[in-house]
Chain A
């Protein structure tokens, strides 16, 4: 393939979890997700991007896109990038995202548009290497991706990927939390989080999404945003920490009845729960917190992921400059200043 290719990863099952029945959380229709991609593609086409490379899935987005692109062709509308699909398996699990991301990186893609929630972004960030991410929120508890009209994200991606905006302006570094567990009966395992890591005594993955606050014991966040939803908001309501600040925040919790500080925090959409706080402190970049948690689970970006077994130790490290994202605002301001979108 010649010319620039933009990767597109759209998660068809983001925002379909249990929080729709426990907390009236929103869902984004598959057709709207596909239409968002079409708008991104229109913007990419306007910037001269000849093709996109997409993750295959069987959740209906690809099928809707194929029909829509065929319709556009019949109606004589040209200028959209050609749509290619990675030759990666479709299992309906997060493995699809891992495989497609790796395939995109191998194909030389420099920027990947991600449509999904924190979970989808986490999966891409785990294996995107030097490629950068432009996130569009379609998930539930999204603290990480921005809420923004996809057309604008598409324009920014198009300008950046075609080299019209310097990387120093277009890209920004992001922090990440790395979690390693070992020493006990469960063997050694590690994973990452983009926004938050929490320790809960609920020893149960179940429907994955974290929506009961009563079992929470401790929270680590890369950034603490009082405007967000979820655990980043819990931390953010105590002490805001920006995405660009070098440090993170660690918060110790206790049952509301025993706590001096009790927050009323939006731990999920529509779910404002009392959260008892014991204390908090900043988390220095590169610093590893080593702890021996109670048996239970470690949740990553709001999803119950890792079992903690008796004897396990957990090490949680805040990694600076872990991966890069596109700063859509900075790109568009640069484009205005330099008349990049002026004919």
Chain B
């Protein structure tokens, strides 16, 4: 089935669904594996927020850069980082994306334009200004996208970056993933003027708010912003209002959330369910298409975990390597 008036091709729709589903299954599996105690460190899950990363990253290519947050698995997957390498990284194995030296919170793959999850909130925004600046000098048509949460939107480095990007007219997009909580603190309390369109306007940038659980809303708005930046139209800000299925980190009892809140969100605001409904309503994909993707993804996740669990740990000498290029 095809529909000439639908802006995404069948292949693109399948790719979008595969990405969202891969993120969801990756996170659900990490949740389970973390509970067993086999996964070291801190992990922060992106489940529930898949539509945002996917809707944005569908417009990005190899010349484009992103800087992520501590909640970075979804951004990695959507930017094309190898899922098996990511599992191995989360297990701290030598075969991991960062050879077991970064872990969940610092996972990066510069070859894919993924400048890193970041343990420091808001720290990616200046880096993205740099990536955008480099693209401007190299004239390679690249754009750079910075992700922050509603919490880090209050950090000085983020706000400084909005100004710098505007002053230098950088091909940079600032995405605020507003999932309503900074760890446990409500953005209703912590953000004095709780509108990112207002924030953007304060720096002379156009700002747009979309429902971050609606892939198509994110996709269209991000597409316009990215195309604009690519053509030299400068920076802009996209607020995606999002929901978080899990706690701030794995192990968070989430007692600060309302009773029944998460169940309600899972039942009524699941971006994957919504995507499936939308493609069905528009008549552009069949349930069988989605089922087939589901099977591929399930197999990939199973293999990824199994291979990671079998992968070698880094050798002791690896403690000392990779500090400098030369010293």
Q: Do A and B touch each other in the complex, judged by CB within 8 A?
A: yes
Chain A residues at the B interface, C-beta cutoff of 8 Å: 12-13, 15-18, 20-22, 24, 27, 29-31, 58-60, 63-64, 91-93, 185-186, 201-208, 215, 295-296, 307, 309-310
Q: Is the interface of B mostly helix, strand, loop or mixed?
A: mixed
Q: What 1/0 mask marks residues of chain B from 67 to 91 whose CB sits below 8 Å from any chain A CB?
A: 0000000000000000000000000
Q: Which of B195-223 contact A (CB under 8 A)?
A: 195, 197-198, 201, 206-211, 214, 216-217, 219-221
> If the complex has contacts A18-B208, A201-B5, are A206 and B220 also in contact, measured as CB distance less than 8 A?
yes
Closest partner residue, chain A, to B239 (CB atom): A16
4 further A-B pairs in the complex, CB-CB below 8 A; given A27-B207, A58-B194, A203-B283: A16-B208, A63-B189, A203-B3, A206-B221
Closest partner residue, chain B, to A26 (CB atom): B201
Question: Is A16's CB under 8 angstroms from B282's CB?
Answer: no
Residues of B within 8 A of A24 (CB): 206
> If the complex has contacts A16-B209, A63-B188, A205-B217, are A309 and B283 also in contact, measured as CB distance less than 8 A?
yes
Closest partner residue, chain A, to B191 (CB atom): A60
- List the 10 shortest-distance A-B pairs measured between CB atoms, nearest first: A60-B194, A206-B220, A16-B209, A207-B220, A30-B195, A16-B197, A29-B198, A21-B206, A203-B5, A20-B206
Number of A-B contacts (CB under 8 A): 110
Residues of A within 8 A of B224 (CB): 18, 21-22, 207
Question: Is B193's CB under 8 angstroms from A204's CB?
Answer: no
Query: With A and B bound together, what is the CA distance between A60 and B178 in angstroms?
Result: 13
Q: Verify if B51 is at the interface (C-beta below 8 Å from A).
A: no
Question: Is A27's CB under 8 angstroms from B197's CB?
Answer: yes
Question: Is A206's CB under 8 angstroms from B241's CB?
Answer: no
Interface-central residue, B187, B281, B284, by most chain A CB under 10 Å: B281
Closest partner residue, chain A, to B196 (CB atom): A16
A92 to chain B, nearest CB (A): 6
Number of interface residues of B (CB under 8 A): 40
Query: With A and B bound together, what is the CA distance between A254 and B11 in angstroms?
Result: 31
> If the complex has contacts A20-B207, A29-B198, A63-B188, are A186 and B5 also in contact, measured as CB distance less than 8 A?
no
Question: Is B281's CB under 8 angstroms from A18's CB?
Answer: no
Question: Is B209's CB under 8 angstroms from A30's CB?
Answer: no
Residues of B within 8 A of A295 (CB): 3, 5, 283
Question: Is A60's CB under 8 angstroms from B195's CB?
Answer: yes
B149 to chain A, nearest CB (A): 15
B204 to chain A, nearest CB (A): 12
Q: Verify if B6 is at the interface (C-beta below 8 Å from A).
A: yes
Question: Is B7's CB under 8 angstroms from A204's CB?
Answer: yes
Question: Is A186's CB under 8 angstroms from B6's CB?
Answer: no
Residues of B within 8 A of A208 (CB): 217
Query: With A and B bound together, what is the CA distance between A204 and B195 in angstroms?
Result: 27
11 pairs, A vs B, C-beta closer than 8 Å: A12-B194, A16-B207, A16-B208, A18-B224, A21-B208, A21-B221, A31-B193, A60-B188, A202-B5, A204-B5, A215-B5
Question: Is A27's CB under 8 angstroms from B201's CB?
Answer: yes
Residues of A within 8 A of B207 (CB): 16, 20, 27
A2 to chain B, nearest CB (A): 31
Residues of B within 8 A of A27 (CB): 197-198, 201, 207
Q: Verify if B133 is at the interface (C-beta below 8 Å from A).
A: no
